[in-house]
């Protein structure tokens, strides 16, 4: 299933076990307080703009921050009498026919990424029961795990680097998608990845090193796939030497490598000798093994 369709599919399944009339599923970052992804089911996408415009008068967000991971019913935060007379209702929810609201937020403290899941009902007399609130809480965890897994599968196919782990970041180095393997590696070697990445993106660099880590950047729409790995012995090689190693690993002869690079076979041989010295090896088989 395409990654772009996963959340719609997941919400459709959720609707079969926890009835709702409309829903939103969004992710963002605590630093920017902006939504990076926005998915809606049976409610206008304009709801996100309305939520942002009324954020300062929406009491449910303070409750969500205080109890992350636990579903919050708007009816438990503000009485019906006050809510239906409140500008929040008349400006943000009434235009979309929304009468009942059950919302939950999950924040990954390591990455700073938050996920907001809100279910809506359009019948004022059909509130959310205590059992339904507990059900949303348990299902949110499984939805997040499945969503992260799908993102990482898509990320692996996009990065094309089997030796590293990847994340999706914006031009400020802020995470949009990341998993624990990436965070484990980063946190072991560098304190402030975000600042370093933002600096190199601004310089237009596609590959850079920070301490013992090597980063590679690839454009991903308006974002970037950021792949990181530990430094490798082959990183000592020049670009020409790396090209020769690539030819060796592909099983090419000196003559074939020389022809493809516009060199003489003897020059290729001399380069290979220097490569062996740099890597402290003595044979093609060792070179191939080191490259794998």
Give residue 2's pLDDT. 56
- CATH 3.40.1840, the chain: domain bounds: 160-231
Class of domain 3-155: alpha beta
170 phi/psi in degrees, rounded to 5: -100, -175
- 94 or 214, which is more confident? 94
Say which residue, 49 or 205, is predicted with more confidence. 49
- CATH code 1.10.10.10 region(s) in the chain: 234-291
Q: Which long-range contacts (CB under 8 A, 24 or more apart) does 83-90 make?
A: 86/57, 87/54, 87/57, 88/54, 88/57, 88/58, 88/59
Residue 35 has pLDDT above 90, yes or no: no
Strand-strand pairing, 223-230 and 113-121: unpaired
Residue 289 is predicted with a pLDDT of 82
Average pLDDT over residues 74-82: 95
For position 162, what pLDDT does the model report? 56
Q: What is the mean pLDDT of residues 104-115?
A: 88
- What stretch(es) of the chain map to CATH 3.30.450.80? 3-155
**CA–CA gap between residue 68 and residue 109 (Å, rounded):** 11
pLDDT at 160 over 60: no
With 90 as the cut, is the pLDDT of residue 23 above it?
Answer: yes
Categorize the per-residue pLDDT at 97 as very low, low, confident or very high, splitting at 50, 70 and 90.
very high
Of residues 2 and 255, the one with the higher pLDDT is: 255
Does residue 153 surpass a pLDDT of 80? no
Average pLDDT score over the chain: 86
Band of residue 198 on the pLDDT scale cut at 50, 70, 90: confident
pLDDT for residue 26 is more than 80: yes
User: What average pLDDT score do residues 55-84 get?
Assistant: 92
Average pLDDT over residues 121-138: 92
Would you say residue 163 has pLDDT above 70?
no
> Does position 54 have pLDDT exceeding 90, yes or no?
yes
What is the band of 157 on the pLDDT scale with cuts at 50, 70, 90?
low
Residue percentage of the chain with pLDDT more than 70: 95
Q: Which residues of 166-186 are buried (b: 16+ CB within 10 A; e: fewer)?
A: bbbbbeebbbbbbbeebbebb
Instruction: Give me the phi and psi of 216, to 5 degrees please.
Output: -125, 135
Q: Among 1.10.760, 3.30.70, 3.40.1840, 3.30.160, what is the CATH number of 160-231?
A: 3.40.1840
103: pLDDT confidence band, cut at 50, 70 and 90? very high
Domain 234-291 is of which CATH architecture? Orthogonal Bundle (1.10)
- For 17, what's the count of Cα atoms within 13 Å in the CB-facing half-sphere? 13
CA Rg, the chain, in Å?
Answer: 26
The pTM assigned to this predicted structure is: 0.71
């Amino acid at each position: 299933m395409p990654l772009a369709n996963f959340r719609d599919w997941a919400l459709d399944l959720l609707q079969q076990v926890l009835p709702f009339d409309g829903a939103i599923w969004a992710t963002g970052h605590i630093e920017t307080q902006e939504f990076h992804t926005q998915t809606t089911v049976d409610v206008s996408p304009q709801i996100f703009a309305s939520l942002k415009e009324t954020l300062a008068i929406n009491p449910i967000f303070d409750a969500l921050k205080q109890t992350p991971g636990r579903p919050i019913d708007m009816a438990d935060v503000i009485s019906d009498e006050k809510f239906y007379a409140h500008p929040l209702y008349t400006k943000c929810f009434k235009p979309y026919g929304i009468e009942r609201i059950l919302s939950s937020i999950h924040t990954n403290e390591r990455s700073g990424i938050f996920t907001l899941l809100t279910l809506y009902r359009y019948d004022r007399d059909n509130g959310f029961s205590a059992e339904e609130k507990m059900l949303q809480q348990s299902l949110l965890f499984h939805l997040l795990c499945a969503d992260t897994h799908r993102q990482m599968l898509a990320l692996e196919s996009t990065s094309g680097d089997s030796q590293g782990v990847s994340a999706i970041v914006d031009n400020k180095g802020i995470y949009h998608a990341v998993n624990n393997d990436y965070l484990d590696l980063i946190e072991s070697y560098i304190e402030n990845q975000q600042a370093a990445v933002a600096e190199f993106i601004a310089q237009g660099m596609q590959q850079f090193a920070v301490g013992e880590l090597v980063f590679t950047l690839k454009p991903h729409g308006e974002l970037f796939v950021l792949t990181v790995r530990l430094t490798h012995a082959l990183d000592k090689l020049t670009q020409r030497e790396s090209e020769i190693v690539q030819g060796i690993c592909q099983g090419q002869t000196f003559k074939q490598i020389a022809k493809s690079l516009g060199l003489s076979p003897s020059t290729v041989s001399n380069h290979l000798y220097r490569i062996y010295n740099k890597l402290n090896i003595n044979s093609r088989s060792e070179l191939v093994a080191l490259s794998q």
